[in-house]
Amino acid sequence: MSSKLLRKLLSYVAKQRGVSIRFPGVSLDPATLSSRAIEKLAEEDVRRGIFPSATFDYPAHAAIVTHVVDCRGTISAVAEGQQVWLAVMPEGGYLLHPNRGPVHIHGDLWSGVAYVGSRVKGAASDQTFEIRLVLISDTTAYEWQSYLDEAHRTGGWTGIPADHVHLLASRTVIRNDARAVRGT
């Protein structure tokens, strides 16, 4: 039985009976099921290697792009307590630059916008970046949103470590505003 199906079944049983169901390290108490327990189960899925599968359909590998890049692809079901985000990493870098919130998922399709390099026109010309589609927990998503809020407020886009992140798919792109606009 899949982890997602088991989680739904246990959730239903716990709520119907008003009981707590305990597993090592996870308590499925009806009062906390929608928050802490689901987060624990999502973390357990990641630890056990239970992830959705995903592909990048656009942009193409090694595409010439501007600062704003529309991205899309396919994805299998994402479990409760998990989110899928886009994040950018410059070639040779080790810090991620998360983008605005989770991607949009409709059925088995996902879409989102990646921001590659600085918003200054002509910045990072001919620099290579990796756009990453990543799976994170709700807790990590909260931390990423806090980073984004602070970065917008201060202009300090330092990046964040790639802790608690599972890479689903990635695409290498090259930033060159002039060539991307001309389509060459």
Q: Mark whether 88 and 152 lie in a shared domain.
A: yes
Q: Mark whether 160 and 175 lie in a shared domain.
A: yes
Domain count, the chain: 2
Cis status of the peptide bond prior to 161, with omega within 30 of 0: no
> How far apart are the two ends of the chain, measured CA to CA in Å?
50
Q: Mark whether 26 and 66 lie in a shared domain.
A: no
Q: What pLDDT, on a 0 to 100 scale, did the predictor assign at position 171? A: 94
Q: Mark whether 20 and 103 lie in a shared domain.
A: no
- Collapsing DSSP states into helix, strand and coil, what is residue 47? helix
Q: Mark whether 83 and 115 lie in a shared domain.
A: yes
Residue 41 has a CB neighbour count (10 Å cut-off) of 25
Pair 130, 89: CB distance under 8 Å: yes
Q: What pLDDT, on a 0 to 100 scale, did the predictor assign at position 157? A: 85
Q: What pLDDT, on a 0 to 100 scale, did the predictor assign at position 59? A: 96
Q: Mark whether 173 and 143 lie in a shared domain.
A: yes
Q: Mark whether 40 and 84 lie in a shared domain.
A: no
Please, what's the largest Cα pairwise distance for the chain?
Answer: 63
- Give the 3-state DSSP-derived string for 59-116, with helices as H, strands as E and coil as C: CCCCEEECCEEEEEEEECCCCCCEEEEEEEEECCCCEEEEEEEECEEECCEEEEEEEC
Q: What pLDDT, on a 0 to 100 scale, did the predictor assign at position 149? A: 93
Q: Mean pLDDT for each 10-residue chunk of the chain (184 residues)? A: 55 52 49 48 59 89 93 88 92 90 93 88 81 92 92 89 87 88 58
CA distance 139 to 143: 6
Domain housing 152: 54-182
pTM, full prediction: 0.71
Q: What pLDDT, on a 0 to 100 scale, did the predictor assign at position 45? A: 60
Q: What pLDDT, on a 0 to 100 scale, did the predictor assign at position 125? A: 76
Q: What pLDDT, on a 0 to 100 scale, did the predictor assign at position 117? A: 82
Measured torsion, CA atoms of residues 114, 117, 120, 125, in degrees rounded to the nearest 10: -120
